[in-house]
Chains A and B, each alone.
Chain A
Amino acid sequence: DAGVTQSPTHLIKTRGQQVTLRCSPKSGHDTVSWYQQALGQGPQFIFQYYEEEERQRGNFPDRFSGHQFPNYSSELNVNALLLGDSALYLCASSSGRFQGAGGYTFGSGTRLTVV
């Protein structure tokens, strides 16, 4: 049973460019959440997708956008990249939007470096 799959593993982009990160949720999961983890920090919530719609959003600018497809996979898009966008981007999947007791299943992340 495959867990959460993220691609690519690593990515180097130039300031001002745009990037797309991809996530396939764990089998049986229908909700995808994206987190940004800067060096030395804990993961920070970007947004959550359920039923192909953005359901909740953290404190991130509109440069960060996403999409969820009918097969529950998801993309995270970041426009006009800044040096400060360099981070590990984690995708987390769950069955349903509310994960009090069970938590998420996280992927291994995409390491984005902006130069």
Chain B
Amino acid sequence: DQQVKQNSPSLSVQEGRISILNCDYTNSMFDYFLWYKKYPAEGPTFLISISSIKDKNEDGRFTVFLNKSAKHLSLHIVPSQPGDSAVYFCAASVTGNQFYFGTGTSLTVIP
């Protein structure tokens, strides 16, 4: 049972434009949400997080939005840079212990 879903396997964006990556979840008990970025042959790298008491968290070019009523999470990257090209995973947890990951979205930023 896939509790966290990323329905877009891939996304291509022009350099300088906004990248929007989406994630849906089914478990209303999730209270921590994270985004990880993964380059080939490397482990996932923590990018940004948000707790269920917030609806937005911003860190530089990266902003995560949480819509609890829709059980939807999104990551905005503005402006997108070629170095952002990677696979992005969203993950969710109850109490920040065991994390459930989505299947990932491969982002390509075109120079």
> A: which residues have CB within 8 A of B?
4, 33, 35, 40-45, 48, 56, 58, 90, 92, 97-109
Contacts and interface: CB of A to CB of B under 8 A. Distances in A.
B103 A90 contact: no
Most chain A CB atoms below 10 A, which of B31, B44, B104: B44
B49 A102 contact: yes
A90 B32 contact: no
Contacts of A35: 101
29 contacts: A4-B43, A33-B98, A40-B103, A42-B91, A42-B101, A42-B103, A43-B89, A43-B101, A44-B101, A45-B99, A45-B100, A56-B97, A56-B98, A58-B98, A92-B43, A98-B96, A99-B32, A99-B93, A100-B31, A100-B51, A100-B93, A101-B49, A101-B51, A102-B49, A104-B46, A106-B36, A106-B43, A108-B43, A109-B43
Interface of B: 4, 6, 31-32, 34, 36, 41-46, 49, 51, 89, 91, 93, 95-104
Contacts, number: 67
A100 B44 contact: no
B25 to A, nearest CB: 12
Contact of B42 (A45, A56, A108): A108
A109 to B, nearest CB: 6
B101 A100 contact: no
Nearest to B104: A42
B51 A42 contact: no
